[in-house]
Structure 1
Amino acid sequence: MIDLYQINPGLWVILAGLICSVMPANSLRKALAILAPIFAAVMIFNIYDSTEVLAGQFEIGGITLTTLRIDNLSVVWGYLFCLAGFINAIYALHEKSWITDSSALVYTGAAIAGVLSGDMLSLFVFWELTAISSVFLVWQGGDRAYAAGIRYLVIQVFSGVLLLAGAVMYANANGGDFTFGYIGIDAPGAWLLLIGMGIKAGFPMLHMWMQDAYPKASITGTVILSAFTTKFAIYALARAFPGTDLLIWIGCIMTCFPVFFAVIENDLRRVLAFSLNNQLGFMVAGIGIGTTMAMNGVVGQVFVHVIFKSLLFMSIGAVMYRTGTAKASELGGLFRSMPYTTVLCLIGAGSIAAFPLLAAFVTKAMILSAAVEEHLWIPFAMMLFASAGVMEHSGIKVPHFTFFAHDSGRRVKEAPWNMLVAMSLAALLCIVLAWPWGGYELLYSIMPYTTDYKPYTWDHVVFQMQLLFAAIFAFNLLKRYKLYPAERRAEIVDADILYRRVGKNIAIWADAVWTRLSATMTAWRGRGMKHIGRRLYHAFSPAGTLSQAAPSGLPAVLTAAVLIFVLILAYVAGA
Structure 2
Amino acid sequence: MTNPALVLMLGAVGVPLLRGWPRRVLLAALPIAALVVLWLLPEGTAGSFGFLGLELTPLRVDALSRVFATGFLVAALLTSVYAMHLRDSLQQAVILVYAGTAVGGALAGDLITLFVFWELAGLSSAFLIWAGRTERSHRAAMRYLVAQVTSGLLMLAGIVWRVHAGEGIEFGYLGLDGPGGVLILLAIGIKCAFPLLHAWLTDTYPEATIVGTVALSAFTTKFAVYTLARGFPGTEALVWIGAAMTVFPIFYAVIENDLRRVLAYSMINQLGFMVAGVGIGGALGVNGASAHAVADMVFKGLLMMAMGAVLLRTGTAKGSELGGLYKSMPQTTVLCMVGAASISAFPLFSGFATKSIILEAVAADHRTVVWLLLLFASAGVFHHAGIKIPFFAFFAHDRGYRVAEAPLNMRVAMALGALVCVGIGVAPDLLYGILPYAMDYEPYTTAHVVNQLQLLLLASLAFTVLIRTGLYPPEIRSVNLDVDVLYRRALPAGWHALSRRTSRLGDRFGPPLRRRTARLWAVGTAPLRPEGRLATSWSTHLMVWWVALLLGAVLLVTLLR
Tell me if TM exceeds 0.5: yes
Alpha-carbon displacement from aligned partner over 1:223-257 (angstroms, at most 9, x marks no partner):
11000000000000000111111111110110011
Over residues 238-292 of structure 1, what are the superposed CA-to-partner deviations in whole Å (9 max), with x where a residue is unaligned?
0011111111111011001101100000000000000000000000001111121
What does residue 380 of structure 1 align with?
371
Q: Measure, in 2, the Cα distance between the counterparts of 1:411 and 1:353.
A: 29
Pair 456,538 (structure 1): closer, same or farther in 2 beyond 3 Å: closer
Amino acid at match of 1:13: L
Following TM superposition, by how much is the alpha carbon of 1:23 offset from its aligned partner in structure 2, in angstroms?
2.9
Please tell me whether residue 16 in structure 1 is matched to residue 11 in structure 2.
yes
Question: Contact 2:31 / 2:73 at 8 angstroms: preserved in 1?
Answer: yes
CA contact (8 A) 1:214 1:270 kept: yes
| SS of residue in 2 equivalent to 1:388 | helix
Percent of matched pairs sharing the same residue: 48
Shift in CA distance, 177/422, structure 1 to aligned 2, threshold 3 Å: same
**After alignment, is 11-20 or 412-421 more displaced?**
11-20
Q: Report the count of equivalent residues.
A: 544
- Offset at residue 487 of structure 1 (A): 2.4
Match of 1:467 among 449, 455, 473: 455
Q: Calculate the TM-score normalised by the size of structure 2.
A: 0.92
Aligned to 2:483, what secondary structure does the other structure show? coil
136-145 vs 308-317, greater mean Cα deviation: 136-145
Aligned AA for 2:146? V
Kept in 2, the 8 Å contact 1:99–1:136? The answer is: no
- Distance in 2 of aligned mates of 1:341 and 1:330: 18
Matched residue, 1:573? none
Letter of the structure 2 residue corresponding to residue 286 of structure 1: G
Counting only pairs closer than 5 Å after superposition, residues 174-323 of structure 1 correspond to structure 2 as: 175-323=166-314
Counterpart residue type for residue 452 of structure 1: D
- Residue 81 (structure 2) aligned to one of 90, 99, 110: 90
Give the deviation of 1:76 after TM superposition.
Answer: 0.7
3-state SS of 1:490 partner: coil
Distance (Å, rounded) in 2 between the aligned partners of 1:72 and 1:12: 20
SS at match of 1:144: helix
CA distance in 1, matches of 2:152, 2:206: 23
Shift of 1:451: 2.1
CA distance in 1, matches of 2:253, 2:139: 23
Q: 2:559 maps to what in 1?
A: none
1:36-60 Cα offsets, whole Å, 9 max, x none, are 222211211121x2x32111x1212
Native 8 Å contact 1:226 1:310 kept in 2: yes
**Contact 1:18 1:106 (8 Å CA) reproduced:** no
| SS of equivalent residue, structure 2 residue 63 | coil
Distance 1:145 1:524 in 2: 48
Residues 291-350 of structure 1: CA deviation (Å, up to 9, x unaligned): 212222111111111100000000000000000000000000000000000000000000
Check if 1:369 corresponds to 2:363: no
SS at match of 1:73: helix
Contact 1:30 1:101 in 2 (8 A): no
> In 1, distance between residues paired with 2:158 and 2:388?
41
Q: Any stretches of 5+ residues in structure 2 without a counterpart?
A: 555-561
- Residue number in structure 1 paired with 2:37: 43
> Equivalent residue for 2:423?
432
Distance 1:383 1:409, change over 3 A: same
Other structure's SS at 2:271 match: helix
Q: What secondary structure is seen at the aligned counterpart in 1 of 2:69?
A: helix
Residue number among 24, 28, 31 corresponding to 1:34 in the alignment: 28
* Distance in structure 1 (CA, Å) of the matches to 2:238 and 2:510: 53
CA–CA distance in structure 2, aligned partners of residues 544 and 185 of structure 1: 69
Q: Match for residue 572 of structure 1?
A: none
Deviations 1:411-430 (A, max 9, x none): 11110101000000000111
> In structure 2, the residue corresponding to 1:67 is in which secondary structure?
strand
Q: In the TM superposition, what is the alpha-carbon distance from 1:472 to its structure 2 partner?
A: 0.3
Are 1:399 and 2:390 matched, yes or no?
A: yes
Distance of aligned partners of 1:403 and 1:166 in 2 relative to their CA distance in 1, 3 Å threshold? same
Tell me, in whole angstroms, the C-alpha distance in 1 between the residues paired with 2:225 and 2:241: 13
In the aligned structure 1, how far is the partner of 2:365 from the partner of 2:69?
Answer: 30
Deviations 1:503-551 (A, max 9, x none): 2212323444566678899978976886577558854554444445559
Question: Counterpart of 2:135 in 1: which secondary structure?
Answer: coil
The 10-residue stretch of structure 1 (488-497 or 329-338) with the greater mean CA deviation from structure 2:
488-497
Residues 345-378 of structure 1, C-alpha deviations (whole Å, 9 max, x = no match): 0000001001111111111111111111111111
The 8 Å contact of residues 26 and 98 in structure 1, kept in 2 or not, is answered as no
C-alpha separation in 2, matches of 1:13 and 1:507: 44
1:330 to 318, 321, 326: 321
> Which of 467, 473, 498 lines up with 1:485 in the alignment?
473
User: Equivalent residue for 1:449?
Assistant: 437
Residue 162 of structure 1: SS of its match in structure 2? helix
Aligned 8 A contact 1:26 1:96 in 2:
no
Partners of 1:88 and 1:521 lie apart in 2 by 62
Q: CA RMSD in A?
A: 2.5
Partner residue of 1:153 out of 145, 152, 155: 145
Work out the CA distance in 2 between the residues paired with 1:143 and 1:59: 45
State the shift of 1:391 in Å: 0.7
Please state how far the C-alpha of 1:179 moved relative to its aligned partner.
0.3
Aligned residue for 1:571? none
Residue matched to 2:558: none
Residue 62 of structure 1 aligns with an amino acid whose one-letter code is G
* 1:265 partner letter: E
Structure 1 residue 126 corresponds to structure 2 residue 114: no
Consecutive unaligned residues of structure 1, counting only runs of 5 or more, are 569-575
CA distances 1:437-489 after superposition (whole Å, capped 9, x unpaired): xx211111111111221111111111110000000000000111111012241
What corresponds to 1:104 in structure 2?
95
Secondary structure of residue in 2 paired with 1:493:
coil
The separation in 1 between residues aligned to 2:438 and 2:509, in whole angstroms, is 71
Partner AA of 1:372 in structure 2: A
Helix, strand or coil for the counterpart of 1:363?
Answer: helix
Mapped partners of 1:531, 1:41: distance in 2: 79
Contact 1:322 1:412 in 2 (8 A): yes
What amino acid maps onto 2:46 in structure 1? L
Q: Determine if contact 1:148/1:216 at 8 Å carries over to the other structure.
A: yes
Of the structure 1 ranges 236-245 and 91-100, higher mean CA displacement relative to structure 2 is found in 91-100
| 1:29–1:101 contact (8 Å) kept in structure 2 | no
Contact residue 27 and residue 84 of structure 2 kept, 8 A:
no
- Which amino acid is the alignment partner of residue 265 of structure 2? F
